[in-house]
Structure 1
């Protein structure tokens, strides 16, 4: 293993090279969000002297532990909260070695319900992308209350501001790693996909990327500022403080994590449904991005005026809610329970469930509820997002069924990254290599040329990825707009 050094605006960094790929890990893109910088927009970090070692992953954002029932998701969520020195606004870069120039750049934003996750998760290893001629970047950003409150005297959408700061770092520094700052594709899955979709609506993000990929996300995963303010007040009341940035900044991180965990109980949080009776987090994500500020001024449901020149690739899995969204508890539900569960966050619950076989003897209430959640949380808003995007748009569906979890949420990610070996607990042992090749190559082709290999979307055809991938008719329900 050899060492390679690169100049950045903050100083020199040294990375490690092996098997034709150089990796630089844990590079700070902003100052540590500690003290007065908590609940504030990201600040520029100070320069360092000498050469900074970038051979190991850095700290990660404060976050709760992964629920034991979801331990299988570990390769996709990462190591949890790694405290380190608090310098967790960092990123990781993989690039081909020996150094080349003008390569396409892909910047990945991790998911995790805006509550957990890290760019250092095994599934996001960028080796295969670098091997195939792409500079791959993964990032950390502030999560939960640290990233998505609206405290008085503080910043809103802090997590999105962190992502924008990371994209600015890429613009200013990525040429030294062989990347082309004018050919940046930002992509993400789940909460990360929704973040990407909302960055398409963000004036501060305009011009920082040429293309966007939204996996299992959409631009309706956000709340009006007034609702975020209500959530902020509820958390402050739980902590016994005023809802100001200065007060929140004095709360120890572990106390803040304990208090925010309480808000997962429906009885403990305010009504977060919008004017249409929809909670875009569906009770599973209290902390979401906010509309109506300088970062995302657009209300939900309108076309962006800031992304006309951006190509978009977006899609979902066919059975999103089969893993990680409560499916494990649905088995004991009867029809009444299923309706009550969905009605808590979505109107017209019974009609949606009936569309998915609620009263069909061949369909269990659990199956109907899982299919309904897949529709209202992912597939229908994905379609609406695609149809209102002002630039070229391509759609896909991930339909390959893993032995245990089916075509569930996040199972497309290791195929995109070519990291299925790190995710055997999710995808099993009999992984179709043709599927990995097809998805990985489509993402690279899109990032390189703006064309993943099939026609743009007009409400008709989508690429269905399976062991035998092919273009199919779109079967996504239209759904109602938020």
Structure 2
């Protein structure tokens, strides 16, 4: 840490920690060996004339800014009743939604330059917040890591597809936040030259887009991508949600019309459209990354396979039963019949031998479960293997995992998001208990959290890197073991989404 950064650390008369960044002084809170600084603006509030524009610099403030509470959340609505019990929503009113939160060891030595982890939450690009209990960075900070979580624009505010609006503004927000981290994190004891990003679900999708950019190395040094699609959609397809919102509100699909609309009205229409759809193959309108513009100039997976991001080590993976979070609570997995599976297979051009391979490995599986497995392979496992193969051939350091521990709660099994409590080592958090129950194996949390810490600190999670042997670290109650090319017969010849 530089002398200037060391000078930025202080305490006020109450003993609360105070940090100085380029925009002003922030008073945080201290809990034993942990300091928290919450709700720090990295960009100006995206309201009024700044709606539907690229993020602008955060204004400076006078005096000490209170950093004891999370900032406002992006406009959103809770998940539907079937899923809300597993995926809670935090809503905090206000306009200053482009903020970061920092956890840092309070007992760090003077001049420390600690590794940094930046977390990007998921939520289908329409929901989510850094304030969720499961995303608390305490355990990472207690391992000597400066932990940062960020908030970004969601839904139409962040991902509308309008001819006169920059595309993927939510991704541009994240780039602005990561530039803030490079610029300011030394004041919190972090090393701006050792920044790892970690995203889950939609957060991994947006980080994939950033990894594919030529300037990725300017933003971060390592990446952890958990259960996130690696692709974006053509603008015409990604824009279906925006066009349908405009139709329902009887407004033009233009910047002026959307900026004149109430943000919560846009959210309400978007939510109603999503609730009325539900194709497991993603054929209905949804909020998605749109190809085109500065943030996502081409399909990220194509750019990555062609060589983008190979100078950045990547840890990537998924859960073994992603689909269960979306198909089990709604009952869709039980309503699917053999005819449903056959029609979906033909529609998606999935070879019959792939379905047979799934049936051979899971003889007791229902048609809905087989369909869910195939969809998970198309959206996640297949692209992950292609991505990892392309990097291994070029010698780019890559590690692949699969989370297999099956929750006993409501037939969720190893569903989407089940690994989060283990990665954050917060099995006691309410959101982790809601999905995994009160008795998740601590040994598995120790193994996963320890591997993530090792990757953040040393650049190696501790298992065999990806190669032609296709080693996958399988995380189960035993704490983890390597499988080579698991289920490859289910992936070979799979259509590309």
Q: Do Structure 1 and Structure 2 share a fold, with TM-score over 0.5?
A: yes
Match of 1:45 among 43, 58, 69: 58
Q: How does 1:43-442 map to 2 (within 5 A)?
A: 43-74=56-87, 77-79=88-90, 81-83=91-93, 85-100=94-109, 101-220=112-231, 222-264=232-274, 282-283=282-283, 286-299=286-299, 301-304=301-304, 305-325=307-327, 328-340=331-343, 346-348=348-350, 352-357=354-359, 362-389=364-391, 391-404=396-409, 405-422=412-429, 423-442=432-451
Between the aligned partners of 1:343 and 1:89, the Cα distance in structure 2 is 44
Deviation at 1:354, TM superposition (A): 4.1
Between the aligned partners of 1:218 and 1:362, the Cα distance in structure 2 is 28
Between the aligned partners of 1:333 and 1:150, the Cα distance in structure 2 is 33
Contact kept in structure 2, 1:204 and 1:295, CA below 8 Å: no
- Asked if 1:7 is matched to 2:12, the reply is no
Deviation at 1:472, TM superposition (A): 1.6
**Secondary structure in 2 aligned to 1:356?**
helix
Between the aligned partners of 1:302 and 1:481, the Cα distance in structure 2 is 11
Could you give the per-residue CA deviations for residues 139-190 of structure 1, whole angstroms, max 9, x where no partner exists? 1111111111121221111110111111011111100011111100011111
**Secondary structure in 1 aligned to 2:364?**
coil
| Count of residues in correspondence between the two structures | 466
Between the aligned partners of 1:44 and 1:465, the Cα distance in structure 2 is 42
Residue 144 to residue 239, structure 1, CA distance change in 2 (3 Å): same
Deviation at 1:69, TM superposition (A): 0.9
Match of 1:18 among 18, 28, 31: 31
Between the aligned partners of 1:155 and 1:258, the Cα distance in structure 2 is 23
**Secondary structure in 1 aligned to 2:183?**
helix
Between the aligned partners of 2:92 and 2:283, the Cα distance in structure 1 is 27
Deviation at 1:466, TM superposition (A): 1.4
Contact kept in structure 1, 2:23 and 2:58, CA below 8 Å: yes
Residue 449 to residue 122, structure 1, CA distance change in 2 (3 Å): same
Deviation at 1:324, TM superposition (A): 2.6
Contact kept in structure 2, 1:114 and 1:285, CA below 8 Å: no
Residue 90 to residue 190, structure 1, CA distance change in 2 (3 Å): same
Between the aligned partners of 1:204 and 1:285, the Cα distance in structure 2 is 31
Between the aligned partners of 1:454 and 1:330, the Cα distance in structure 2 is 34
| Structure 2 stretches lacking a partner, 5+ long | 1-13
Q: Which residue is 1:276 aligned to?
A: none
Between the aligned partners of 2:346 and 2:154, the Cα distance in structure 1 is 27
Contact kept in structure 1, 2:78 and 2:84, CA below 8 Å: no
Contact kept in structure 2, 1:217 and 1:382, CA below 8 Å: no
Residue 284 to residue 412, structure 1, CA distance change in 2 (3 Å): farther
Deviation at 1:308, TM superposition (A): 2.5
Q: Which residue is 1:273 aligned to?
A: none
Contact kept in structure 2, 1:216 and 1:409, CA below 8 Å: yes
Residue 363 to residue 255, structure 1, CA distance change in 2 (3 Å): same
Residue 415 to residue 120, structure 1, CA distance change in 2 (3 Å): same
| Structure 1 stretches lacking a partner, 5+ long | 270-278
Residue 343 to residue 432, structure 1, CA distance change in 2 (3 Å): same
Match of 1:450 among 436, 446, 459: 459
Structure 1-normalised TM-score?
Answer: 0.90
Deviation at 1:356, TM superposition (A): 2.5
Contact kept in structure 2, 1:236 and 1:243, CA below 8 Å: yes
Structure 2-normalised TM-score?
Answer: 0.88
Between the aligned partners of 2:239 and 2:26, the Cα distance in structure 1 is 40
Between the aligned partners of 2:350 and 2:276, the Cα distance in structure 1 is 20
Between the aligned partners of 1:300 and 1:244, the Cα distance in structure 2 is 26
Residue 361 to residue 437, structure 1, CA distance change in 2 (3 Å): closer
Between the aligned partners of 1:319 and 1:129, the Cα distance in structure 2 is 27
**RMSD over equivalenced CA pairs, Å:** 2.4
